[in-house]
């Protein structure tokens, strides 16, 4: 009987350690610290402006796929696009861009801490358009977008109050959803 109790206790301890580890990865947003790269996408035609797409890759990497598609859609619209991980040096300076897009995964209905922190320190150039996207499981509902808007911190110049906000579910047609997002942003 003692041996069975020890085995049950050991399994329980392993499950607790596993749960705490997974929770730490999600809540401490460890994946964001791997997003340090930067890439520049040049338009085929004459550039109409500069855009930056900043992303937190999240655990599944789906957010990077969505961000990459948004960057590609902006490039197609003849923008010179900087595609930057959230911890890259390019993400720290958003001045000089006419379009700024920031996004990351959605956990428990809210954006990650790294995305919120980037948004709270955002200082765009005057007249710049800002877009915020979240990526998560399932199809998007109006409640999802409302929850995302609530998770966006206020910044000093109220730029974020006019931001285009969207959630793109990983089961949705990413090409169509990102194209719609870019069209809203550019209108």
63 within domain boundaries: yes
State the pLDDT at residue 25. Answer: 54
11 within domain boundaries: no
Q: How many domains is the chain built from?
A: 1
State the pLDDT at residue 32. Answer: 59
147 within domain boundaries: yes
13 within domain boundaries: no
Expressed as residue numbers, the domain containing 124 is 30-186
How confident is the prediction along the chain (187 residues), in pLDDT tens digits per residue? 788 878 888 888 888 888 776 665 555 555 555 656 778 889 988 999 999 999 988 877 788 999 999 999 999 999 999 999 888 888 888 889 999 999 998 887 788 888 888 888 888 888 889 999 998 876 677 777 777 777 777 765 556 777 888 888 878 888 999 999 999 999 8
Residues composing the chain: 187
Residue ranges of alpha helices (H) inside the chain are: 2-27, 62-76, 113-120, 142-151, 174-186
128 within domain boundaries: yes
Here the CATH number for the domain that contains residue 48 is 3.40.50.360
10 within domain boundaries: no
Tell me the C-alpha distance between 38 and 71, whole Å. 12
Instruction: Provide the total of helices (H) and of strands (E) in the chain, helices listed first.
Output: 5, 7
State the pLDDT at residue 29. Answer: 59
For 126, phi then psi, to 5°, come to -60, 135
Q: At 82, is the secondary structure helix, strand, or coil?
A: strand
Closest listed residue to residue 69, CA positions, set 155, 147, 171, 177? 177
3 within domain boundaries: no
Instruction: Look up the pTM and report it.
Output: 0.80
78 within domain boundaries: yes
């Amino acid at each position: 009987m003692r041996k069975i109790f020890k085995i049950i206790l050991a399994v329980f301890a392993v499950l607790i350690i596993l749960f705490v580890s997974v929770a730490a990865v999600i809540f401490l947003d460890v994946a964001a610290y791997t997003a340090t790269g930067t890439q520049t996408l040049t338009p085929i035609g004459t550039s109409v402006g500069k855009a930056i797409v900043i992303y937190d890759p999240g655990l599944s990497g789906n957010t990077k796929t969505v961000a990459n598609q948004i960057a590609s859609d902006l490039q197609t619209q003849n923008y010179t696009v900087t595609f930057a991980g959230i911890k890259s040096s390019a993400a720290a300076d958003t001045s000089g861009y006419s379009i700024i897009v920031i996004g990351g995964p959605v956990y428990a209905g809210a954006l990650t801490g790294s995305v919120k922190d980037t948004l709270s320190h955002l200082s765009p150039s005057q007249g710049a358009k800002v877009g915020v996207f979240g990526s998560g499981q399932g199809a998007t509902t109006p409640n999802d977008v409302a929850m995302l808007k609530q998770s966006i911190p206020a910044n000093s110049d109220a730029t974020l109050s006019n931001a285009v906000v969207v959630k793109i579910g990983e089961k949705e047609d990413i090409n169509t959803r990102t194209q719609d997002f870019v069209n809203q942003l550019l209108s």
